[in-house]
Amino acid sequence: MLLFLAVVRRIAILLGATGILHAQLSSTATISGSVADPTGAVIPSATVTVTDEATKVTTTQQTNSTGAFAFSGLPVDPYTLTISSTGFTPYKESGIVLHPGITENKDIKLRTGSATEQVIVNAAEAQVETVTPEVSNEVSAAQVSTLPLNGRNYGALAAVMPGVQNLSAGTTLGTGGRATSNVISINGSTANTTFYALDGIWDENTGNMNAISVLPNPDSIEEVRVFQNDYSVRYSIMGASVVLLQTRSGGNTFHGKAWEYLRNDLMNARNYFATTIPPWKENIFGYNLGGPLFIPHVYNTSRQRTFFFWNQQWVRWNQGLSLTGVTPTSDQRNGLFTSSTPIKNPATGLPFPQNSAGQYVIGPLNANSVALVNAIYPLPNYSRGSLNYINNKPAVTNQRDDEIKIDHHFNPHWSFTGEYLDERQDYTQSSLNGATGGEVFNTNWEEDFTNNQLASSRSPR
């Protein structure tokens, strides 16, 4: 409990520090429509109610003079819509699933009848976007949490959406940090031309536009939505397409989950270039918990005002690698070189002398240069063709992800959401795989520390 209160306090501090808040887009949804009688005549002053099926929060309004209604700023949850008017049979439709940034349109015709009857729709048909011209597709929370993801990266689900491609299909994707790049290509575009937003916050490395800042784990994601064409100008910060990531929220009942994903080298095959099976130890584990925030008999006893969602994940990953290259031999470090053509002294233009073994003797060598070569370049340990060195040193990832989200409903027309996400990673890798080294030797490596944070506050209604 103390840890929870400490995190909530930190959220309050971060949300108050306007310097770290990013430009924010709306990640909420809208239900709009009209109410008419069987002849198509509009029904003004009809009572329209929407109920969030996850939190049980209810919002009510009357249709205007043209029979229209609109509920904006709704959290992304399933909803129940009820409509009633004097002289007409009440209408009720449940299971209306909303999506971030999407308007769900409902044009309802009420039947004439008494209030003792009711029209109930339990399974609404799939809706076609008719309010806006945008073309979009989504991956639901059920798909994210149940489909296999190599590396626990939502980008692997790109193939389930038309027009979207995973550029690294068949390979393990990273879990975040500097070692992870975006792999989603939309309508044939490159990966760095897409705009990414997490719960309405611009979530992207603005240095190369090729990696998102905080990579939410699949068990924290409610939906992944891709806008491909004709979307609103509010998303036109960059690129020709948009990826919206929506995280989960708490409800009026407690729900939790714990997980651990394990891979190791016990069943792995040997790499073609390796003499042994490279080490591979992968552990990804965590938990989440969501529900109402209340104090029995004191605060939020109805469990319909304040909600929380807490998610944590750890990554412990030793990824085996087999990097091959060329290193100076012992003879070469002593100035002895074998060549089928004469090796000439650049100072005189004449060939260097040869020893009894036919090797050219080059020298004198600079002692400092030889010492540097011996310190940085290991001796050969491998022989295959022109290659004489192999490095099986693994890439090591240690990572922790935290997310806490608080939703508070002051009244049916005003609610507040605050959240804080923190991603910390220590990643060590051989230089060839990095951005600065370019060598394969185990005496050279780079270590990257990543600490990305996102904080947001918004009043969705």
Residue 128 reports pLDDT greater than 80: no
From CA 130, how far away is CA 109, in angstroms rounded?
18
Residue 403 reports pLDDT greater than 90: yes
* Least confident window among 65-79, 171-185, 416-430, 434-448: 434-448
% of the chain residues with pLDDT over 70 = 88
What does the DSSP 8-state code read for residue 182? -
- H helix or E strand, kind and range, residue 9: helix 2-16
Residue 13 identity = I
pLDDT for the residue 405 = 95
Select the more confidently predicted residue: 149 or 67.
67
Contact assessment for residue 263 and residue 303, using Cβ atoms and an 8 Å cutoff: no
Residue 219 reports pLDDT greater than 80: yes
Distance from the first to the final alpha carbon of the chain: 30
Interval 337-353 mean pLDDT: 92
**Collapsed DSSP state (helix, strand, coil) of residue 191:** helix
Span 179-193, pLDDT tens digits: 788 888 888 888 888
Span 193-216, pLDDT tens digits: 888 989 888 888 877 778 889 999
Interval 100-109 mean pLDDT: 89
Select the more confidently predicted residue: 107 or 166.
107
In the structure, what pLDDT confidence band is assigned to residue 63 with cuts at 50, 70 and 90? very high
How buried is 455 (Cβ within 10 angstroms: 0-12 exposed, 13-18 middle, 19+ buried)?
A: buried
Residue 11 reports pLDDT greater than 60: no
In the structure, what pLDDT confidence band is assigned to residue 295 with cuts at 50, 70 and 90? very high
pLDDT for the residue 6 = 53
Average pLDDT over all residues of the chain: 84
C-alpha dist (Å) from residue 19 to 13, 75, 83, 287, 459:
11, 26, 44, 31, 19
Domains, in order of start, for the chain: 30-121 (2.60.40.1120), 135-247 (2.170.130.10), 255-323+393-458 (no CATH), 328-376 (no CATH)
Span 350-394, pLDDT tens digits: 999 999 999 999 988 999 999 999 998 999 998 888 899 988 888
In the structure, what pLDDT confidence band is assigned to residue 17 with cuts at 50, 70 and 90? very low
Helix, strand and coil in the chain, % to nearest 5: 15, 40, 45
Sheet holding 194-198, edge to edge: 135-140, 221-229, 241-247, 194-198, 201-202
In the structure, what pLDDT confidence band is assigned to residue 395 with cuts at 50, 70 and 90? confident
Residues 6+ positions from 79 with CB-CB distance below 8 Å: 31, 50, 51, 52, 53, 94, 96, 97, 98
CB neighbours of residue 180 within 10 Å: 21
In the structure, what pLDDT confidence band is assigned to residue 285 with cuts at 50, 70 and 90? very high
pLDDT for the residue 201 = 87
Interval 12-27 mean pLDDT: 50
Structure tokens at 11: 């959220």
From CA 327, how far away is CA 378, in angstroms rounded?
7
Interval 316-339 mean pLDDT: 90
* Least confident window among 97-101, 244-248, 334-338: 97-101
pLDDT for the residue 24 = 58
What does the DSSP 8-state code read for residue 145? H
In the structure, what pLDDT confidence band is assigned to residue 124 with cuts at 50, 70 and 90? low
Residue 376 identity = I
Select the more confidently predicted residue: 268 or 246.
246
The residue with tokens 């909303």 is 98
Q: What is the dihedral of CA 402, 411, 31, 290, to 10 degrees?
A: 30
pTM: 0.78
* Least confident window among 142-146, 174-178, 249-253: 142-146
